[in-house]
Structures are given as structure tokens and as C-alpha cells.
Amino acid sequence: MLPAAVPQIARLEVGVFCAWQQMDRAPAPDTANGWIHVPVDEVTFQWPDRQVVPAVIGMGFGLRATAAPGFETAAGEVRVYRPGRSTPETWASDVSDFGPTLAFFRFDTQDELVPGRWVFEGWDRDQLLYRAEFEVVLPSALPGMAGACDATS
């Protein structure tokens, strides 16, 4: 399924990347780990517009959303639905016209390598702003891509 956004979102980019760059952490109590990664430097999608992701430690995938001029979320939130779970992981994340906001997931541990459909949504209170789906597959399905991020940290 192609990414979708309301008119208040001027640009929505999806992609996949090797997520080995330095990252800080921010509290996110409504996630499995209780925190999210915060990149120190800008993230570049090595595979822009890709929504199929090999399940490999160090692989990251997600989206960038930029609001239309004059729009800014009042109470922004990202929701990520993992395969087999009905309750999303959530964290605060505003969207504005000042520049893109990145929402992503990075595989850090073996138990996170869950094949299937992962769904990212951006909300402003009760309004859905954007939605993007990613299909996570076994590394053997995309060996070239999977091998690009096979280093261990």
C-alpha cells in the first residue's frame, strides 16, 4: 500500500536505511523499550521509497513528514503497529512546516525481527495525518539489501 497523507501534510517520504549512526535516546513510556532512538545527525534513506525491509539487526525504516505551510500539530503522536499486535507503540512527535519530522524503527534485538506488516501512523489528537505500511521479510528474500547492514554494533 502506498503511503497516504491528508492535505495538511505537504510531503511524506518513506525509506529504509542502515541505522548505525550515533543516536541518543528519548523517553517513550508507551513503547516496548520505554524509549526511542533520536539520531544525532540527519538520517539518509539508502533505499528511498522502499517499503519492503529485511529483518536484520541495524536496519532502520520509517518516514519523514513535512506539514503544509501554516500547519503545525497541537498534540502530535506516532503510532507503530507491529505484526500480531493490536495495540500500537506510541510516542509524542509533532509535525510542522519548519522541516521534516522523522519517525522510524531500528532493529536492535532478535526479538524485534518480526516479519509481516508494520504500520506507521501520525496523529494530531483524533485526526489521522499520515499512514505508511512496511513489509518486513526474512533476510533471504533481499540478500543484497540485508547484507548491506549486517555489521554488528
Residue 35 maps to which CATH number? 2.60.40.2390
Residue 64 lies in a domain: yes
d(CA 153, CA 138): 20
Question: What does the pLDDT average to over 119-148?
Answer: 96
Residue 124 three-state SS: strand
What letter would DSSP give residue 51?
A: -
The DSSP secondary-structure symbol of 21 reads: S
Q: What is the mean pLDDT of residues 131-135?
A: 98
- Check whether 27 has a pLDDT greater than 80: yes
The C-alpha cell at 9 is 501534510
Is the pLDDT at 101 greater than 70, yes or no? yes
Q: 26 pLDDT band (50/70/90 cuts)?
A: very high
d(CA 21, CA 41): 8
Can you give the pLDDT at residue 151?
Answer: 53
All residues at 6 or more sequence positions from 31 whose CB lies less than 8 Å from its CB, including other chains = 89, 90, 91
Asked which of 21-30, 45-54, 120-129 is least confident by mean pLDDT, the reply is 21-30
Element spanning 89, H or E: strand 89-92
- Average pLDDT of the segment spanning 11-39: 92
Q: Tell whether 84 is covered by a domain.
A: yes
Q: Are 80 and 114 in contact (CB under 8 A)?
A: no
Q: What angle do CA 68, 99, 50 make, to 5 degrees?
A: 90
- pLDDT for position 152: 46
**Residue 38 domain flag:** yes
Segment 71-87 shows an average pLDDT of 93
pLDDT of the residue at 150: 62
| Averaged pLDDT, 84-97 | 94
The domain tally of the chain equals: 1
Dihedral over alpha carbons 122, 58, 21, 118 (to 10 degrees): -10
Predicted pLDDT at 20: 81
Residue 78 included in any domain: yes
User: Does residue 70 form part of some domain?
Assistant: yes
At residue 153, does pLDDT exceed 60? Answer: no
**Looking at the domain assignment, is residue 153 inside a domain?**
no
pTM comes to 0.93
Gap between the Cα atoms of 107 and 80, Å rounded: 14
Asked whether residue 88 carries a pLDDT value surpassing 60, the answer given is yes
For 48, the domain range is 4-148
